[in-house]
Chain A
Amino acid sequence: MTEHLTKRRLTLLTGFWTGFEFQIVTMRGQAETYFALITAPFFALLYMSIMEYSGRSDLNTHAVIAPMLMTLWTAALSFSGEMISANRENGRLELLLASPTSFPMLVFGRLCACMLLGLPSFAMSYVSAGLAFGYWMPIHHPGVFAGALLLTALATAAAATALSSAFVLTLGARIVQNTLSFPVYLLGGVIVPVSLFPGWLEGISRLVFLSWSADLLRASASPEPVENAGLHFAMLLLLGAASLAFGLLSIVWFLHRARQLGALSKE
């Protein structure tokens, strides 16, 4: 029994690392991977303009951090859908599922690698705001910033894994991708802080992990001590873990259903 569990854990880990390594190799040679990055400096400039000319330069931090979070979510949405549908169209989905490595963990590993795009997108947003508006966002709590960034990336990958499960049985991923971008930006408090929402909406927003991420990242740029950092990290971790568990289990369920229906191949 113990040996079986050890083997199973090894299979899950292999799936994760295989996906992670593979995605790095794939992204290196694919120009379209970086399309998500192109928007980051433009959004940074747009939001900076709004903040500066409305006299709310106290919200400049929002303008720099929002494009990074948006890039992460856009990349996650785009890759989660493409990963299943492109593999299905190219006849690879069945081959992937016929191999012993855990497919859900492969998906999660690949999506985690996609999240590495968060770093260059932050750099581009940061530099754009600095060069165009002379605002070089300070990071007063680098530990909080790094921790929040890491957990945000993992939670985004986990949420995207959950989304990808829906694409196992759904052939059209585009509609889902297009529908889920701006509502999540809004509910996640990416641009407008959740605390400014009406009470009932704030409650809903607190179920979106990005609302906790955005708070932490913005707080790390403030010289004051970060309030309730532990709670924020715990909530981010909890929501990320819940998304991951839901994502992995739902992929397993959808795959089983697809094997019953014979819906894995596109023929």
Chain B
Amino acid sequence: MNAPSPTRKRPPVKAIEIQGLNRSYEVKGKPDHIALKDVNLTIPQGEVHSLLGPNGAGKTTLCRILSTVLLPTSGSVRVMGHDVAKEHHRVKKCLGVVFGGDRGLYNQLTARQNLNFWASMYELGRAQRRRRVTELLDRVGLAQRADEAVQGFSRGMKQRLHLARGLVSSPAVLILDEPTVGMDPVAARDFRDLVRELRADGHTVLMTTHDMPEAAELSDRVSFIDNGELALTESPDVIGNIVSSQERIDVRGMTDTLRRRAAHIPGVSSVTETEPGLTRIEAEFGEAVRDVLMLVIEAGITDITRSRPSLEEVYLHLIGRRGMTVAQ
């Protein structure tokens, strides 16, 4: 038997590896509240991954466990190969955390003093700290306000400072818990650019968000979580196929006759006028779609748009419409 080659490369360490994770809380006089139930998730290095789900679904609990401030009830959670329960000191060194909202800063201190403090907390030397803080303030657009007390900052500015705080150690893995809450559209766009830059630099990002377009735009993969259980993990490009085998074709300028003919094509499930002049045809992928397109084009119509269910529709399909009700 041949001995394994010493030059053989080991498979790259997964950025995040979660196996059979359960987390429950004791509630006096009641059964335990189960926050996470048998969660399995693997995120390779360099991936931007979004976690989607309603309030109380378990997103923040998962982020807290990953950031070592909450222990799992059972199961294994590893960040860059280190166990969050047994090797939390090593995990902390390769992790940056940004929890949502504008809390978490020292309001009486300036933006620079805040970042300086957090850079010390991540064990950066004095010179390195000075350089990194200046660089980050510039990167999040706060260089001009660097020496002003944070208490005068808007919510969006505080959020930017939070992001800078999370990046202070240039972590391999960044956990962002609803990072764009309270940001104005310009700041949110800048944030998306920043996440793209982070991905280009090889960082792994796990982000929780309610913003579906943001998740679709930024993520390599998304996971849906509900009632503490992962419902689905997939790329946003193909995720629509999972909940629907239908493709939708929006056509402007169809006559009633043409609509009736389209409805008779095998594989077409619905033909509806969604607004005056605009017809939506839902048809199975493949031949049905091809036949519909041929019919419309032969009629001389060129205003045609093809689409698949959006991430928001997938979310609603998987999680359901529960209005204002918070998950139990």
Q: Which residues of A contact B (CB under 8 A)?
A: 10-11, 14, 17-18, 21-22, 25-26, 29-30, 90-92, 94-101, 106, 259-262, 264-265
Contacts and interface: CB of A to CB of B under 8 A. Distances in A.
A100 B122 contact: yes
Contacts of B122: 99-101
Q: Which 5 A-B pairs have the closest CB atoms?
A: A91-B103, A99-B121, A18-B120, A100-B92, A98-B67
Contacts of B97: 94-95, 98
Contacts of A106: 121
Interface string B103-130: 1111111000100011011110000000
Contacts of B26: 261
Contacts of B95: 98
Nearest to A14: B123
Contacts of A261: 25-26
B70 A90 contact: no
B101 A100 contact: no
B60 to A, nearest CB: 8
A101 B120 contact: yes
A173 to B, nearest CB: 19
A90 B104 contact: yes
B123 A101 contact: yes
A11 B69 CA distance: 18
B291 to A, nearest CB: 55
Contacts of A101: 120-123
Given A90-B103, A98-B92, A259 B69 contact: yes
B25 A262 contact: yes
A86 to B, nearest CB: 10
Given A14-B123, A98-B69, A98-B92, A26 B103 contact: no
B71 interface: yes
Given A94-B99, A100-B121, A264 B70 contact: yes
Contacts of A100: 89, 92-93, 121-123
A91 B104 contact: yes
Contact of A99 (B70, B103, B118): B118
B180 interface: no
A32 to B, nearest CB: 10
A98 B120 contact: no
A100 B90 CA distance: 8
A22 B120 contact: yes
Contact of B64 (A25, A90, A94, A99): A94
B109 A25 contact: yes
A96 B121 contact: yes
B64 A14 contact: no
A101 B119 CA distance: 10
A68 B92 CA distance: 40
Interface string B49-69: 000000000000000100111
Contact of A29 (B25, B64, B103, B109): B109
Nearest to B100: A91
A29 B123 CA distance: 25
Contacts of A95: 97, 99, 104, 118, 165
A27 to B, nearest CB: 10
Contact of B108 (A18, A29, A99): A29
Contacts of B113: 25
Contacts of A14: 120, 123
Contacts of B108: 26, 29-30
Contact of B104 (A17, A92, A97): A92
Contacts of B70: 259, 262, 264
Contacts of A91: 99, 101, 103-104
B121 A97 contact: no
B68 A22 contact: no
Nearest to B92: A100
Interface string B5-34: 000000000000000000001100000000
A92 B118 CA distance: 11
A230 B26 CA distance: 52
27 contacts: A14-B123, A18-B117, A18-B120, A25-B109, A26-B108, A26-B109, A29-B109, A90-B104, A90-B105, A92-B106, A94-B67, A94-B99, A95-B97, A95-B118, A97-B68, A97-B69, A99-B92, A100-B89, A101-B120, A101-B121, A101-B122, A106-B121, A259-B68, A259-B70, A261-B25, A261-B26, A265-B69
A84 B272 CA distance: 60
A97 B89 CA distance: 10
A38 B107 CA distance: 25
A94 B88 CA distance: 13
B79 to A, nearest CB: 11
B109 A11 contact: no
B116 to A, nearest CB: 8
B261 to A, nearest CB: 58
